[in-house]
Amino acid sequence: MAIQPQGLVQVYTGEGKGKTTAALGLVLRAVGWGLRSYVVQFMKGQPSGEEVALRCLAPLVTLVRFGRPGFVKPGEWTPEDRALAKEGLAQARAALLGGGYDLVILDEVNTAVAFGLLSERAVLDLIAARPTHVELVLTGRGATPAILAQADLVTRMLEEKHPYARGIPARRGIEF
């Protein structure tokens, strides 16, 4: 199934905007070459333009979401949030090891670890289990040093200026 002989591990982290956007750009590029992508979104349950768009790219793209509507805040998560995150990681593992995908994206997984919804060890174990031909991308703020050490590519998004600071709320089609 795989067209690429060597997959790598990529991490997009940092306080700036664009981590998910960069990962979804890889999905778009992969679809252009006929590669199959599996996207797991952690802590995202609210409607978004990316969800609608990715569903249009089936069967080359599969999107699964594990989050309830609204935002999860550090220290304010519920047992349901943790259960959803663990279910998402289990689904990601099945997709990663199942042989049907060339690109697997764990969107906001670093944030899920930083918030205590998932253990760092569970994510490191998943990275270690990655078949060599599969590209694995982990996004989210707060990537741990151990996760960064396992990556082949690390990009830190740095916020220098953001419209939210001027009172401009998130905009449909741009931020979500």
pLDDT in tens, 32-52: 999 999 999 999 988 899 999
Per-residue confidence (pLDDT) for residue 47, from 0 to 100: 87
| CATH node for 9-156 | 3.40.50.300
**94-108 mean pLDDT:** 97
CA distance 4 to 84: 32
Domain boundaries of the chain, sorted by first residue:
9-156
Per-residue confidence (pLDDT) for residue 3, from 0 to 100: 59
Sign of the Cα pseudo-torsion (6, 12, 17, 20, in order): positive
**61-69 mean pLDDT:** 94
Can you give the C-alpha Rg of the chain in angstroms?
A: 15
What tens digit of pLDDT does each residue of 119-130 get? 999 999 999 999
CA distance 96 to 172: 31
Q: Within 10 A of 76 (CB to CB), how many other CB atoms are there?
A: 9
**Of 115, 117, 109, 116, residue with least CA distance to 147:** 109
Per-residue confidence (pLDDT) for residue 45, from 0 to 100: 86
More confident residue, 29 or 165: 29
Q: Within 10 A of 145 (CB to CB), how many other CB atoms are there?
A: 7
* Residue 116: pLDDT over 90: yes
